[in-house]
Amino acid sequence: MQWVKLTLHFPSFFSYRIPDYSSQYALSVPLPSPSVIKLAVVATAIKTTGNVSEGECVFYAVRDADVRITLPEQIAINSVLIKRLKKKKNPTELESFERTFGIREYIFFSDDIDLFIGCNDIGVVTKYFVMLRYLGSSDSILYVKRIEQTETPPESAIRAVTDMEFTEAVSSNESCLVYPVKDISKKATFEQINPYSSKSSRKVFERKYYLIKARVKKGKNWKVLKLCAN
């Protein structure tokens, strides 16, 4: 397996709704999930080349990739009340949506984050990782400051764990914050994630978890996570 390290900078905020949470109460995971990262690079390959087959090639290169992330020492999370449009249950010809409110969380990183990607065909995807412009919601803008080959990620790097690993971690009585995320199944095919295919399906994701060791300081509509050293 070959590894590359990407240093990502978010000039503003990052937001990625916890999987299966209501869009009206969109609490955020404090870092992008494996599926978000992998699908973002596939989408980037298709958009930059205009070639769907190139996206398919990139998909199979990153589908089984190992994804790990190191975060800055502090992360601020802000909950905001937003106005939103929701589709009416009984729409009319003149009005299909109704005005309502919702909660959305935004993440502010105190410094850059390092993203480690490990896979066998790293050369196929490296040039597209450099072109990433956002992760999570479309307003979570980023740019890649640098990319470099590396041996292995540091022990402190966070990775998504399976149900079994999660159970083991809980039984060890270690205190940590738990965030459910999704990864792409090793059995998934490109046709299943291709939105223009009749075979597209949501049954291509596996539930995993981010376990983050951090101390939390809270206010009325904010909280700060201060990461603990492993």
- Which pLDDT value is given to residue 202? 64
Alpha-carbon dihedral sign for residues 166, 170, 136, 143: negative
- Which pLDDT value is given to residue 230? 62
Place of tokens 């066998």: 120
- Which pLDDT value is given to residue 153? 94
Q: What is the DSSP string of 126-142?
A: HHHHTT--B-SSTT-B-
- CATH number for the region 2-227 comes to 3.30.70
Quick check: 147 and 129 in contact, CB under 8 A?
A: yes
pLDDT tens, position by position, 79-138: 998 887 778 888 787 788 888 888 899 999 999 999 999 999 898 999 999 999 999 888
Using CA atoms, how far apart are residues 30 and 75, in angstroms rounded to an integer? 8
Using CA atoms, how far apart are residues 117 and 126, in angstroms rounded to an integer? 9
- Which pLDDT value is given to residue 58? 95
- Which pLDDT value is given to residue 200? 63
| Domain spans of the chain, in order of start | 2-227
- Low-confidence residues in the chain, pLDDT < 50: none
Question: Which residue in 60, 26, 50, 47 sits closest to 140, CA to CA?
Answer: 26
